[in-house]
Amino acid sequence: MESSDRKFENVEEVLSYQLMNRRDALKTGLGAGAALLFGGGFLSGCSSSGGSYSGNGKKPEGADNEPAVGKANIPTPRNKTLVIGQVDYQVFNSFNLRIPNGNAAGNGFDTVGREYLFYLNLPTGELMPWLATGYEYNKDFTSLTFRFDPKAKWSDNKPFTSEDFKFTVLLMRDNAELLGGGGDLKDFVKDVSTPDPHTAIMELSKPNPRLHYGFICTIASGFDVLPKHIWEGKDPTKFRDNPPIRTAPYVLDKAIASQKMFVWKLNPDYWNKDKFYPKVQYVIFQSTAQSQDAASQAFKRAEFDVGSLDEQHAKSLRSQGYPNLVTTPFHDPCPRALWLNCDPARGIIGDPRMHWVISYVIDRQKVGSTVWPVKTPTAQYPWADYDGNDKWEVASVAGKYKMEYDPAKAAQLLDEMGAKKGAGGKRMWKGKPATIEVITPSGVDGAEFVIGQLIVSELKKLGVTANIRSYSGSVHSEKFERGQFDISSQWVCSVSWDPNQLYVGLQGKYAKKIGVNSVGRNEVRLNDPELDALSQRLAVMNPESPEAKPLMQQALAEYYKRLPVIPVIQTAYPSYYNTTYWKGWPTGDDLYQVPNNWWGQFMFVIGKLQPTGKK
């Protein structure tokens, strides 16, 4: 990849091993915008529609006129409040992230209501110690030690200690029925000791050089340490955790169901004031109008500072010379991708050569320039094109297995497979019509659906019977988990930090029969002993070590041979900010932090904001 295509500086610390990736969003009904990391929070990255992005994060020339300002429907002083437009909320009296519908996604809890041990700043590559001051392994990766900031306090002024960390780890390890429970904690954590209030030592049952990755706020959120003095003795499957006691700079002021609003206020006793204390007194997360036109007008009147705007309406505001709009581009960590069933019981899609047929009929340039709402690069690898991921790229392997549009090669492969054209030009496979069904959780106006439509159209030209169906998140999730699909057009979020995350999840030991729930692993039913062996060896190695490098290359080549997940395009999502009341937003020229308002890292954007003086 050319350096000019890069969006971020190198990420020196490679982080990985989320217990659950964004595909878990389908199970919780949050659409593409959800993930759980050891009981963590949610992500937003749903497909959208709109025009071509043309903003650069700067005000248009000559736009000095002062627009009309509306009265925001909020219970706090407007010039002291940051108002963030978010999703439609249904839950207002619970903040328990560990049970279904126990917390309203996008309500600000992940962003300003709780803190994490470490934060990764993707744009700069900085690993930021926060509640924890550091971590270290022993020589054979069977012990992991965390050290915590002795100044840290909960919002009720009780000290944050290693006992809180131990309590949370064991709670999650021993309760697999909780969201984010079990998983790697159950697989690897034998015990946790606390030699002093600021040190916790995790004794591992087997080596794992990546376990610390799950304790870092990476994509949207991270490990949520619970206050033992609040949670101990409570039933974690029923406890509402309302109001939530955490260490964050903001505390919940009120949740107003009638206005679909969460009001967070600055904590005057925040433990880290000498290092970080925002000028914003209140942060409100509020559901925006169902009508995008109405939401856009509310943004134009500065009733919202962040969100409530899509690219189509942002483009209109730019054309009108609206002076207070800042548009900041950022690549989502989840490329759009196709998941292909590998089970021969599904017919022709079970042949790996058919996976390459599918890849060859995807016009990625067209998808990236005309289908996605804003122009976005094509994808060769099943991970985001952050500079920190370039260490996983292998030019020689990628050159051999190019993600390219070539219908002629697709037709040639079909012939080689024996899928010859019969009467009426329809191809047959083992005596039956060659058929492919694409499913997607995207609505019929979503980009993922359109990607599927393009594939269906190309397959029909080649004589393959094909169709596409859109299913609601829960219905799609069930079909996907049970292997009742040929192709699923969605996204790939498995590679947060290291490709072995994807490979481990595709191990043959997780492959279930069609109709049996795969429980979040190997939904495509891949059986590849060579990839299994490589991923198992990599699982106990530092992914950047010299001995891991050749194995990573071999694993990538094996992955491409079978191609169970086909990368299509990167995912560009602009963020939109209003400068009427607050300035200091991240821009394309100064992307100092993750610009997404639903990520935990957005707390540091809030910390950079300065009031404009507007009353």
DSSP of 268-280, one letter per residue?
Answer: TT-TTTTT---S-
pLDDT band at 448 (very low <50, low <70, confident <90, very high): very high
Token match 């989502």: residue?
A: 332
Q: Please, is 163 exposed, middle or buried when counting C-beta atoms within 10 Å of its C-beta (0-12, 13-18, 19+)? A: middle
Q: Is there a contact between 201 and 143 (Cβ–Cβ < 8 Å)?
A: yes
Q: Is there a contact between 565 and 335 (Cβ–Cβ < 8 Å)?
A: no
Q: How far is CA 527 from the centre of its chain?
A: 27
Q: How many CB atoms lie within 10 A of CB 142?
A: 16
Q: Is there a contact between 562 and 382 (Cβ–Cβ < 8 Å)?
A: no
Q: How many CB atoms lie within 10 A of CB 179?
A: 22
Tens-place pLDDT, residues 111-120 = 999 999 999 9
**Average pLDDT, integer, range 588-597:** 93
| % of the chain surpassing 90 pLDDT | 75
**Average pLDDT, integer, range 165-192:** 92
Q: Please, is 60 exposed, middle or buried when counting C-beta atoms within 10 Å of its C-beta (0-12, 13-18, 19+)? A: middle
> In sequence order, what are the residues at sequence separation of 6 or more whose Cβ sits closer than 8 angstroms to the Cβ of residue 268?
none
Distance CA 373, CA 309 (A): 13
Of 11-25, 155-169, 236-250, the range with the lowest mean pLDDT is 11-25
Q: Is there a contact between 310 and 289 (Cβ–Cβ < 8 Å)?
A: no
Token match 């606390």: residue?
A: 194
> In sequence order, what are the residues at sequence separation of 6 or more whose Cβ sits closer than 8 angstroms to the Cβ of residue 274?
none
260: left (phi over 0), alpha (psi -120 to 50) or beta: left
What is the dihedral sign for C-alpha 108, 109, 114, 115?
negative
Here the tokens at position 330 are 């950022």
Of 17-26, 371-380, 545-554, the range with the lowest mean pLDDT is 17-26
Tens-place pLDDT, residues 16-47 = 333 333 333 322 222 222 233 333 333 333 33
> In sequence order, what are the residues at sequence separation of 6 or more whose Cβ sits closer than 8 angstroms to the Cβ of residue 4?
none
Q: Is there a contact between 463 and 375 (Cβ–Cβ < 8 Å)?
A: no
Distance CA 506, CA 528 (A): 9
Q: How far is CA 320 from the centre of its chain?
A: 33
- Average pLDDT score, the chain: 88
Q: Is there a contact between 131 and 159 (Cβ–Cβ < 8 Å)?
A: no
Query: What's the pLDDT score for residue 65?
Result: 61
User: How do beta strands 132-137 and 126-129 pair?
Assistant: unpaired
Span between the terminal Cα atoms of the chain, in Å: 48
3 state DSSP class of 502:
helix
Residue 282, strand partner residues: 81, 265
- Asked if pLDDT for residue 307 goes beyond 80, the answer is yes
Distance CA 468, CA 370 (A): 20
pLDDT band at 287 (very low <50, low <70, confident <90, very high): very high
Q: How far is CA 242 from the centre of its chain?
A: 26
The more confidently predicted of residues 376 and 46 is 376
Residue 220, strand partner residues: none
The more confidently predicted of residues 32 and 495 is 495
Burial readout 518-543 (b: 16 or more C-beta within 10 A, e: otherwise): bebebbbbbbbeebbebbeebbebeb
User: How do beta strands 582-583 and 143-148 pair?
Assistant: unpaired
| % of the chain surpassing 70 pLDDT | 89
Distance CA 182, CA 454 (A): 40
Tens-place pLDDT, residues 327-348 = 998 988 899 999 999 999 999 9
Q: Is there a contact between 197 and 166 (Cβ–Cβ < 8 Å)?
A: no
Rounded to two decimals, the pTM is: 0.77
What is the dihedral sign for C-alpha 473, 478, 482, 483?
negative
Distance CA 367, CA 375 (A): 9
Q: Name all domains of the chain by residue range, CATH numbers in brackets.
A: 78-93+248-324+579-611 (3.40.190.10), 118-227 (3.90.76.10), 332-571 (3.10.105.10)
Distance CA 554, CA 563 (A): 14
